[in-house]
Structure 1
Amino acid sequence: MEMGMNSVQPNAQFPVPHKSLSLDINGNKTDIVISKYEDSFMVMVTQIGCMGAILVARKDESVFSDPTYNVSVLFGKRDEVSKVIILFNVSGSGSARSLMISHGLKDHSQATMKYIVSTIIENRLW
């Protein structure tokens, strides 16, 4: 499996703090944009050049129980790949902000998904 990072471009000039990454994963150009808004984070991952399924995860905390995560599908199907990415990133955020993720992928293999998740974690803004 060939994987490599072509560029990472943090941009402080844009009104919303964000990072843009362009990766080559098994010959598939993969673009990732991670944005930090006042009340949420947005992660866009695409190999098809546009947004795909869009999901939102919110962390619900209670003094009487462990936190729970509410995942809503805004567009597209709720599949296990999306759920894993969202829950992994939200649980690592330590934040009450919601996380919106959009993914349009050609390659849904486990190795590709692990690489995308680790790249997001390494470049997260939370």
Structure 2
Amino acid sequence: MEIASDSHGNNGFPVRNKRVSLDIKGNRTDILMCTYDDYILVMVTQIGCMGTIVHARKEADVTVDPTFNVSVVFGKRDEPLLIACARQLIEHISSCGSSKPLVLSLGLKDHSPGVLKDVIAAVIEHRAW
């Protein structure tokens, strides 16, 4: 259930961005997506702060069967599902024709597969790239 949605183009904040608030598994989830010239920033929080920050990018020289580099920049390094979430999002971004890397911040109360699946679906549905 979507609570609120707000999108900005060139008016106001100069970076293309989109904000969405929705309920995921009983928790209010705020999503902010910004598309900069050189990367995409996605922040997802249920705790009111940034949480674990993951960087994901497509390897530049690979044209057939692309590979992706995903690493934790800050936060929980022992959460493989957070890495998988970032990998799925960068694969989707790449399949949409963008070569921009992704910086993903996940401040979630629950890191279960169901929650992360819903987060991925919400980001893709409301994407700002």
Taking structure 1 as the reference length, the TM-score comes to: 0.88
Note the C-alpha offset of 1:59. 0.5
Count of aligned pairs between the two proteins: 123
Displacement of 1:57 in angstroms is 0.5
Matched, 1:62 2:61: yes
TM (normalized to structure 2)? 0.87
Structure-1 separation of matches of 2:42 and 2:81: 14
Corresponding residue of 1:7 = 4
Tell me the residue number matched to 2:114.
111
In the TM superposition, what is the alpha-carbon distance from 1:25 to its structure 2 partner?
2.2
CA RMSD of aligned residues (A): 1.6
Residues 33-77 of structure 1: CA deviation (Å, up to 9, x unaligned): 011000100110001000001010111033575221111221112
Unaligned 5+ segments in structure 2 are none
What is the CA distance between 1:5 and its match in structure 2?
Answer: 1.1
- Report percent identity of matched pairs: 45
Q: Which runs of 4+ in 1 moved over 3 A?
A: none
**Contact 2:82/2:111, CA 8 A, preserved across alignment:** no
Q: Which has the higher strand share?
A: 1
1:75-125 deviation digits (Å, cap 9, x = unpaired): 112322211211111111132110000011102222221111101011112
Q: CA separation of 1:63/1:42 partners in 2, compared to 1, >3 Å: closer, same or farther?
A: closer
Structure-2 separation of matches of 1:5 and 1:92? 22
96-105 or 70-79, which deviates more: 70-79
Aligned to 2:83: 83
Structure 2 equivalent of residue 24 of structure 1: 23
Gaps of 5+ in 1: none
Quick one: distance in 2 between partners of 1:45 and 1:117? Answer: 10
Name the CA shift for 1:27/1:66 in 2 (closer, same or farther; >3 Å): closer
